[in-house]
Amino acid sequence: MFKDLPLGKPEAQAAFYEGYNGGEDQFGRKVTNPAGIDLTPYVASQLGLGYRTPREDPPPSGGGMKAALEHLFLFWYT
């Protein structure tokens, strides 16, 4: 996904600052925060993350770093 971006440049950052993808994320939502994180499948697996689909529920309270990262819509495929 977004293979035309430089390696390691988050799509959210490019969308927010440069209008990449019309200023929208991969789901067509306007990017209002340039923060992003790119993880390789290996790193995601080491953090205990699996494939996640977008969620509209509020961020988890408690649950630590894993729960917070999962809520950031991290994706990887096994």
pLDDT tens-digit map of 13-36: 999 999 999 999 888 989 998 887
> Distance between CA 32 and CA 18 in Å, rounded?
13
Mean pLDDT of the chain: 75
Give the pLDDT score at 57.
55
Which residues make Cβ contacts (< 8 Å) with residue 47, sequence separation at least 6? 39, 65, 66, 69
Question: Residue 5 corresponds to which tokens in the numbers above?
Answer: 């971006």
Reported pTM: 0.49
Give the pLDDT score at 77.
37
**Backbone torsion region of residue 10, taken as left when φ is above 0, otherwise alpha when ψ lies between -120 and 50, otherwise beta:** beta
| Cβ atoms < 10 Å from Cβ of 45 | 13
Whether 6 shows a pLDDT value over 80: the answer reads yes
